[in-house]
Amino acid sequence: MMKIVVCVKAVPDPQQACNIRIDPVTKTLMRCEVPLVLNPLDKNAMQAALDLKEQFDAHITALSMGPPDAEGIVRECLALGADQGILLSDRAFAGADAYATAYTLATAIAKIGPVHVIFCGMASSDGSTEWVGPEIASFLDLPVVTMVEEIVECRSLQWKVKASLAHGYRLMQVQLPAVFTVTRELNTPRALVFSGIIKARKKSIVRWGIDDLGVPAEAVGLKGSPTIVSKLTTTQSKREVNILTGTREEKATQLLQKLVDSGVV
């Protein structure tokens, strides 16, 4: 049986982005003010696992770290078709940066036991570091392919995947077990259906805290986070309108000069 872990994150609803605020003192997101939803790219990660389950005998574990409220998104993964849900929730985990988050998730994956595939969304819509997937791989000493946009071959333990680059793509051959971070190009996430929600009634969500993972308090949460947010500023975008006058040729010359002056050309 193919064992799959999908790492999912509860993020403030991107549709209410205008209401998301940052605490000026702690320099962290004020998460309580906006409802939490499943990170959009994690839906693609879930769908990748579900697509595999349709082809092979597979078991999907949805794994998340977050406050107790994050249980809702784990339940949503169960409704989408995951077999098991695990929520890592403990006050000691609070304030974790990408490094501490990846460490905690990797420790949980190690506790789950041997797995073949670990899927993560390429990035979260709130932090957007793109580091958690690769760092999980690093902690577990597994190969990782980031920005996977197509699983080309997956019939053996030797997978072939297509991963995007800024101006092209990489065709990678990877030996399982491995970590894959996925892009939205990989698939179209399936919508929740009522029967899936009903089936999720019978599926359990396990909650693990720091004692269950057996990790030192200094290695997780804020204490285990090397990232220091030293300063936060808001960006301002300004527009200036200049009306060019003169003949067509004169206006073209003026425009060209302005583009040169501004460093565009």
Partner 1 sequence: MIDFTFTEEQEMFRKAAREFAEIQVAPKVAEMEETGEVCDEVVKALGEAEMMALTIPEEYGGLGLGYTARLIALEEISKVSVGTAMMLQVFALGIEPIIKFGTEEQKKKYLPALAKGKRLASTAVTEATGGSDPTGIRTSYRKEGNDYILNGRKCFITNSHIADTITTLAKDDENPKAFSTFILEKGMEGFKPTHKEHKLGMRGCNTGELAIENCRVPAKNLVGGEGKGMRVALGAIGDVGRGGMVGCALGLQAACLEASVTFANERILYGKPISNLQAIQNKLAQMKIDLEAGRLLGYRAAAIQDKGGRSSNEFAVAKYFTTEAAQKAAKMALDIHGGYGCMEEYAVSRYLRDSFVLGPSAGTSDIMKVIIARWVLS
HSE-CB of 103 using CA atoms within 13 angstroms: 20
Among 57, 194, 218, 234, binds partner 1 (CB under 8 A): 194
For position 116 contacting partner 1 by CB under 8 A, the verdict is no
Among 191, 228, 232, 241, binds partner 1 (CB under 8 A): 191
Neighbours of 140 (CB within 10 A): 20
Give the SS3 label for residue 10.
strand
For position 255 contacting partner 1 by CB under 8 A, the verdict is no
- Cβ proximity to partner 1: between 195 and 235 the closer is 195
Tokens representing residue 225 in the block = 């986070």
Among 141, 155, 168, 195, binds partner 1 (CB under 8 A): 195
For position 205 contacting partner 1 by CB under 8 A, the verdict is no
CB of 205 to partner 1, least distance (A): 11
CB of 36 to partner 1, least distance (A): 12
Rg, the chain, Cα only: 22
- Cβ proximity to partner 1: between 75 and 116 the closer is 75
Give the SS3 label for residue 47.
helix
- Letters for 71-90 (x = contact with partner 1 by CB under 8 A, - = none) are -x--xx--x-----------
For position 248 contacting partner 1 by CB under 8 A, the verdict is no
For position 40 contacting partner 1 by CB under 8 A, the verdict is no
Q: 250: part of which helix (H) or strand (E)?
A: helix 248-261
Give the total of residues touching partner 1 (CB under 8 A). 12
CA-CA-CA-CA torsion sign (116, 122, 126, 129): positive
- Cβ proximity to partner 1: between 194 and 231 the closer is 194
Name the maximum alpha-carbon separation found in the chain.
77
Is residue 75 a contact partner of residue 214, using CB atoms and an 8 Å limit?
Answer: no
Residue appearing with tokens 């990678």: 172
Neighbours of 181 (CB within 10 A): 27
What number of residues does the chain have? 265
Q: Pick the stretch among 120-128, 144-152, 158-166, 191-199 that binds partner 1 (CB under 8 A).
A: 191-199
CB of 238 to partner 1, least distance (A): 19
Q: Pick the stretch among 90-98, 124-132, 185-193, 243-251 that binds partner 1 (CB under 8 A).
A: 185-193
Cα-based angle 31, 4, 181 (whole degrees, multiple of 5): 55
Q: Pick the stretch among 58-66, 145-153, 190-198, 240-248 that binds partner 1 (CB under 8 A).
A: 190-198
Q: How far apart are CA 119 and CA 154, in angstroms?
A: 14
Tell me which residues touch partner 1 (CB under 8 A): 72, 75-76, 79, 191-195, 197-198, 201
